């Protein structure tokens, strides 16, 4: 099939807009994408059927969502008895201008699932990804934050956001390196580039407490996920830094002494391969939303939010 080509005055070739710097999406299409995602999410949650929203999720969110629905479909095969429809309102969209693929945008919406009314509303930040001109928009990242934690994004005169290159030297840490540094930090405490908090020092402390218990021990392994739909994405902030999203995979292996039984939660058992005799290995996917400071200031990366979900389990 012939492909339409357009020659610019400078001799550059544009194929389906791959070399043109254009908005990733129109606001109308972004709003439609959010509505379709919400409808599919609700249908899948009500039926505990991953097939009902599989076409609307990908990457880290897709892995967490699909495994979670699969697990709950086993434990509650008749559907979700606690289903309450998700409502996303007051949506704002951060739409970057960029050339080539993939393209992405961020939806920032109020939800009806506030954790604590006294603490105020929380916002759902959903990163939608489109990998090619013939592909659909899919939700790749989800972070739930209080409004005060969401940084001010840099926009141009037309209100469009500015994407940050994965190898950017304008930041204290390039977005493509965040997953590797975070995985290393979780295991070793190095490099010390992350601010203390529940998703950094707090998470390491809780692991240490769980590492050794009478009759059993736990080991942890972390690795970055940087390729394809798991690749990090980032938008510039007004202060010269960036709001970035990235993914890591976490492994937790629990080993029991002879005669000690390992308890297996029903949600874990639903995703279990093999039989648990002396060990249980859980695999999780974890997505992070962080603020990266600009280069030269000596600032640390702040982890604003983390969404983690079990994706598989193996017994031995």
What are the DSSP E strand ranges found in the chain?
5-7, 13-15, 22-23, 88-94, 97-98, 103-111, 123-130, 138-145, 212-213, 216-225, 233-236, 242-256, 272-273, 279-292, 302-315
271-280 tens-digit pLDDT: 999 999 999 9
Q: Which DSSP helix (H) or strand (E) runs through 210?
A: helix 201-211
| Mean pLDDT for back-to-back runs of 10 residues, the chain (316 residues) | 31 52 96 98 98 98 98 96 96 96 97 66 95 96 96 97 97 98 97 97 96 93 97 98 98 95 95 97 98 94 98 98
Q: Is the peptide bond before 21 cis (omega within 30 degrees of 0)?
A: no
244-268 tens-digit pLDDT: 999 999 999 999 999 999 999 999 9
**Which tokens sit at 161?**
């956001």
Q: In the prediction, which pLDDT does 83 show?
A: 96
Q: Could you report how far apart the first and last alpha carbons of the chain are, in Å?
A: 52
Range of the domain at 69: 5-315
Q: In the prediction, which pLDDT does 19 show?
A: 78
**Which tokens sit at 48?**
């505990």
Nearest to 92 by CA among 123, 57, 137, 59: 123
Q: In the prediction, which pLDDT does 114 show?
A: 73
Separation of alpha carbons 141 and 289, rounded Å: 9
Q: In the prediction, which pLDDT does 3 show?
A: 32
Q: In the prediction, which pLDDT does 297 show?
A: 86
Total count of domains within the chain: 1
Nearest to 304 by CA among 171, 156, 200, 191: 200
């Amino acid at each position: 099939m012939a492909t339409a080509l357009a020659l610019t005055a400078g001799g550059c070739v544009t194929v389906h807009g791959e070399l043109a710097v254009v908005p990733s999406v129109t606001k109308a299409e972004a709003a439609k994408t959010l509505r379709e995602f919400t409808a599919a999410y609700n249908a899948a949650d009500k039926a505990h059927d991953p097939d009902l929203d599989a076409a609307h999720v990908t990457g880290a969110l897709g892995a967490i969502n699909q495994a979670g629905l699969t697990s709950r479909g086993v434990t509650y095969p008749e559907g979700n008895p606690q289903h309450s429809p998700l409502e996303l309102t007051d949506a704002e969209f951060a739409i970057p201008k960029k050339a080539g693929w993939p393209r992405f945008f961020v939806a920032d919406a109020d939800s009806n699932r506030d954790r604590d009314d006294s603490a105020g509303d929380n916002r759902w930040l959903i990163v939608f990804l489109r990998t090619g001109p013939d592909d659909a928009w899919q939700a790749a990242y989800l972070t739930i934050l209080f409004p005060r934690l969401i940084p001010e994004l840099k926009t141009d005169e037309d209100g469009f956001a500015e994407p940050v290159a994965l190898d950017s030297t304008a930041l204290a840490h390039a977005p493509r390196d965040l997953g590797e540094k975070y995985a290393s930090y979780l295991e070793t405490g190095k490099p010390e580039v992350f601010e203390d908090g529940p998703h950094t020092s707090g998470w390491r402390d809780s692991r240490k407490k769980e590492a050794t218990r009478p009759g059993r021990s736990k080991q942890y392994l972390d690795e970055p996920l940087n390729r394809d739909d798991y690749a990090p994405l980032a938008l510039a902030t007004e202060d010269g830094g960036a709001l970035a999203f990235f993914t890591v995979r976490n492994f937790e292996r629990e080993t029991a002494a002879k005669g000690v039984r390992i308890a297996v939660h029903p949600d874990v058992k639903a995703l279990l391969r093999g039989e648990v005799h002396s060990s249980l290995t859980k695999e999780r996917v974890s997505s992070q939303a962080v603020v990266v400071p600009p280069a030269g200031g000596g600032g640390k990366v702040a982890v604003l939010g983390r969404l983690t979900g079990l994706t598989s389990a193996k017994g031995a």
